[in-house]
Structure 1
């Protein structure tokens, strides 16, 4: 009798111990979404221990389907990252899911698969960067996500999160030090778990990631870059838009394989009629009005490649970047290509005057503020377009709770204004000190178009191959908290000092706010005095 009681007690203790061990499994990183396609998606999460990797999913909260994946070590400890790929999904369809690792079961979340390009569906993207931890503003990234992005979407659009947002783009600096394991959980994933559980996230490497092994363990990005450099550069299609991720960090920005891959991808994209727009993201700026030391030549090469692609194909493009902690929006002079700094989502603001800056011609808006960028893509078969909106959270001096601070819309099809009329000088003699060129009113056949830029040229030859004077002015130029263009109506321009006793030709063209240039005006002439 005593022996049976002892055996029962031993069995109870063992069972209790096993149960206690099982209860120790807990979520470190809640489920997040990766690499979505019209027919598949990847779900990842991290637990304190446990090898079981299960995703239950279905078209309703009852779920009903199940897929099993893999688990792998992340930090030479018992913690495990789990990765499950769900296949056989229907395009542009909403699903429910939850994850299970032994006794740890998540809440039920949702996701929506992408459409095919030919479906002509519209969608929205969030772009933000540089959310690395700031000891003076430790909760800023959580605020940008939860009080910013999630609150903004709930207020502005009907429906749930997966219906309102297709993806999140992050051009680098996700954490302050990518080599520190705890920062990934505490500083990046946990503050944004409500967003990442319902919307796929697509980052690229910033300098603060330090090329860490943790980055490559936590993310399962498209494997369509150069095989030897998996996940350093890649692309992902969503509807009519191609997203390109690049690595602008030292050791990779001078990599010939990356440049070759990009050129070949753009050549391929040029032939794909289903792709209307190309958005690239990389960490470093080509030009930075708030912080010149952050600039990189590699990004300039990327910009040239995208400009060439856009002009040759008629497909507008963007490069999103960060590194400088503030928002900037610029545009190429001769191409429908946008330059957009989507910082800062948490990193300390680069305030005006704090670092060496420069007023670049390309940029019309620069703001030393926290915030994020909304991209609204309209997948119309006849006239597709996208709209960029900067939603600001303000800075230490002024709070801006989800304030719209900048916006621009770009159509795929050109919507050219009419060529301006040259007014003066007209076949007359003028002083050499500075000639005032004057042109007529802005005119466009498109409703709502307005005069957003003027480009003036003066040359000694009628082909304007070597202009003596070349000036490009935009209707706004927000630099150091003021609009330096507020008194310029863009209909006249004073030249610099010209040569005496010389015959000159001059011309002008106008641009609307959607980056459409008119044809050049008729050529005017004048002669400078002795």
Structure 2
């Protein structure tokens, strides 16, 4: 009997398109129907009527188990609804309708969430996965436009069952209406499932995208720091390395107001598993005006002071945030905080970021919905920063 075993889930939002993916138990056809619904402007403000007006239908030839369809010709910053359909000789399945929201245009505020370690923490997790469910539930309450996962979403990326157990299963209700991006962590093992399940821009282990006034850059720190040499590099972070050259060319080519970078291994954290060799990237990030860097690996929360040239710099510094979210390892923290640490706490958590054209707000929230850290950053028309 044909069934849906993963998803549907959303990928790669743009101002006029969205990629929709799902997996079926057997090879089957792929079809997506995009629906619109008239908003009700009386009574309960903002409610929608039943989404029964067909906007467009997309399908592709042939059968597959992992389905990927991109729907296009949508309006920016607009809520649509979608349904998926698959069919083969054993039967047919459908799911939906579910809401989706296209990316916002430049100049429009938006929000996103950040977490990680849904699988990397699994060997230490006494809750048997309840923490993952709690984190996904709390993020859903904040209704982000999208989410960043900073690696280790599974325990063993080569184990097919892990992708459902630690990621797609606990996150099903969240990812059905919230697009997400991820980077490779060491637990993914650079496995083929990462490349099969995600619709990121090639080569998928590193890429960039724009959303509103922000340019996001994803790096593969497990390629810079090889497993056999961890925690040291052997010359990968130098001209001639494909990813290193991409990093420079990408940051050089963007004129976005805000720049954010995410990768797994943390160059700064006052705890175990700090990977100091990655500080070789910091001068490049500083040169091209990066504002925030998100990391994980150390399963704690930590926010640095604004840093530049190895010192605290409140005028031009970069804030490094370790969002080792779906877990907590207090024993991995040093006995006392290091010089670069502003705030640190080992609790299961996620980070919420709200971006406007000239302000950025960040909040760290635990698995029970309690706020435990926050900061704001203002940037004027000359890109001068003010932290408060």
Give the shorter-chain TM-score range.
Answer: 0.7 to 0.9
The alpha-carbon deviation at position 303 of structure 1 amounts to 2.5
1:366 and 1:236 map into 2 onto residues whose CA distance is 29
- Alpha carbons of 1:42 and 1:191: their partners in 2 closer, same or farther (altered >3 Å)? same
Q: Is the 2:27–2:63 contact (alpha carbons within 8 Å) kept by the matching residues of 1?
A: no
2:330 and 2:301 map into 1 onto residues whose CA distance is 11
Q: Is the 1:246–1:282 contact (alpha carbons within 8 Å) kept by the matching residues of 2?
A: yes
Task: Identify the residue that residue 42 of structure 2 maps to in structure 1.
Answer: none
Task: Identify the residue that residue 19 of structure 2 maps to in structure 1.
Answer: 42
- Alpha carbons of 1:70 and 1:405: their partners in 2 closer, same or farther (altered >3 Å)? farther
The alpha-carbon deviation at position 187 of structure 1 amounts to 1.6
Task: Identify the residue that residue 150 of structure 2 maps to in structure 1.
Answer: 171
Q: Secondary structure at the match of 1:178?
A: coil
The alpha-carbon deviation at position 48 of structure 1 amounts to 0.4
Q: Is the aligned partner of 1:129 residue 2:116?
A: yes
Could you say which structure has the larger radius of gyration?
1
Q: Secondary structure at the match of 1:386?
A: strand
Q: How many residues align?
A: 347
Q: Is the aligned partner of 1:246 residue 2:219?
A: yes
Task: Identify the residue that residue 281 of structure 1 maps to in structure 2.
Answer: 262
Using CA pairs below 8 Å that are at least 6 residues apart, which structure has the higher relative contact order?
Answer: 2
The alpha-carbon deviation at position 29 of structure 1 amounts to 0.4
The alpha-carbon deviation at position 143 of structure 1 amounts to 1.3
Q: Is the 1:125–1:167 contact (alpha carbons within 8 Å) kept by the matching residues of 2?
A: yes
The alpha-carbon deviation at position 287 of structure 1 amounts to 2.0
Q: Secondary structure at the match of 1:267?
A: helix
- Alpha carbons of 1:278 and 1:415: their partners in 2 closer, same or farther (altered >3 Å)? closer
For residues 412-454 of structure 1, give each alpha carbon's deviation from its aligned partner in whole angstroms, at most 9, with x where no partner exists.
118999xxxxxxxxxxxxxxxxxxxxxxxxxxxxxxxxxxxxx
1:284 and 1:176 map into 2 onto residues whose CA distance is 16
Task: Identify the residue that residue 363 of structure 1 maps to in structure 2.
Answer: 341
- Alpha carbons of 1:258 and 1:109: their partners in 2 closer, same or farther (altered >3 Å)? same
The alpha-carbon deviation at position 116 of structure 1 amounts to 2.5
For residues 380-420 of structure 1, give each alpha carbon's deviation from its aligned partner in whole angstroms, at most 9, with x where no partner exists.
xxxx1110100123xxxxxxx21111111111118999xxx
The alpha-carbon deviation at position 186 of structure 1 amounts to 2.1
For residues 74-119 of structure 1, give each alpha carbon's deviation from its aligned partner in whole angstroms, at most 9, with x where no partner exists.
xxxxxx11010111111111110010112211021011111222xx
Q: Secondary structure at the match of 1:149?
A: helix
The alpha-carbon deviation at position 122 of structure 1 amounts to 0.5
- Alpha carbons of 1:219 and 1:416: their partners in 2 closer, same or farther (altered >3 Å)? closer
Task: Identify the residue that residue 386 of structure 1 maps to in structure 2.
Answer: 360
Q: Is the aligned partner of 1:82 residue 2:56?
A: no
RMSD: 2.2
Task: Identify the residue that residue 342 of structure 1 maps to in structure 2.
Answer: 323
Task: Identify the residue that residue 116 of structure 1 maps to in structure 2.
Answer: 105
1:186 and 1:329 map into 2 onto residues whose CA distance is 29
Q: Give the alignment of 1:264-275 within 5 angstroms.
A: 264-269=249-254, 272=255, 275=256
The alpha-carbon deviation at position 51 of structure 1 amounts to 2.1
Task: Identify the residue that residue 211 of structure 1 maps to in structure 2.
Answer: 190
The alpha-carbon deviation at position 301 of structure 1 amounts to 2.5
- Alpha carbons of 1:109 and 1:512: their partners in 2 closer, same or farther (altered >3 Å)? closer
Q: Secondary structure at the match of 1:286?
A: coil
1:127 and 1:355 map into 2 onto residues whose CA distance is 21
Task: Identify the residue that residue 81 of structure 2 maps to in structure 1.
Answer: 96
Q: Is the 2:23–2:67 contact (alpha carbons within 8 Å) kept by the matching residues of 1?
A: yes
1:357 and 1:178 map into 2 onto residues whose CA distance is 32
Q: Is the 1:284–1:296 contact (alpha carbons within 8 Å) kept by the matching residues of 2?
A: no
Q: Is the aligned partner of 1:62 residue 2:52?
A: yes
Q: Secondary structure at the match of 1:107?
A: strand
Q: Is the aligned partner of 1:27 residue 2:9?
A: no
Scaled by the length of structure 2, what TM-score is found? 0.84
- Alpha carbons of 1:302 and 1:167: their partners in 2 closer, same or farther (altered >3 Å)? farther
Q: Give the alignment of 1:361-510 within 5 angstroms.
A: 361-379=339-357, 384-393=358-367, 401-413=368-380
Scaled by the length of structure 1, what TM-score is found? 0.62
Q: Is the aligned partner of 1:51 residue 2:42?
A: no
Task: Identify the residue that residue 172 of structure 2 maps to in structure 1.
Answer: 193
Greater shift, 236-245 or 252-261, is seen at 252-261
Task: Identify the residue that residue 48 of structure 2 maps to in structure 1.
Answer: none
Q: Is the 1:94–1:112 contact (alpha carbons within 8 Å) kept by the matching residues of 2?
A: yes
Task: Identify the residue that residue 271 of structure 2 maps to in structure 1.
Answer: 290
Q: Is the aligned partner of 1:141 residue 2:128?
A: no
Structure 1: runs of 5 or more not aligned: 1-23, 74-79, 154-163, 224-229, 311-315, 394-400, 418-510, 515-530
Q: Is the 2:269–2:341 contact (alpha carbons within 8 Å) kept by the matching residues of 1?
A: no
Q: Is the aligned partner of 1:182 residue 2:143?
A: no
The alpha-carbon deviation at position 70 of structure 1 amounts to 6.4
1:406 and 1:336 map into 2 onto residues whose CA distance is 19
Which residue of 147, 150, 156 corresponds with 2:140?
Answer: 150
- Alpha carbons of 1:124 and 1:71: their partners in 2 closer, same or farther (altered >3 Å)? farther
Q: Is the 1:141–1:191 contact (alpha carbons within 8 Å) kept by the matching residues of 2?
A: yes
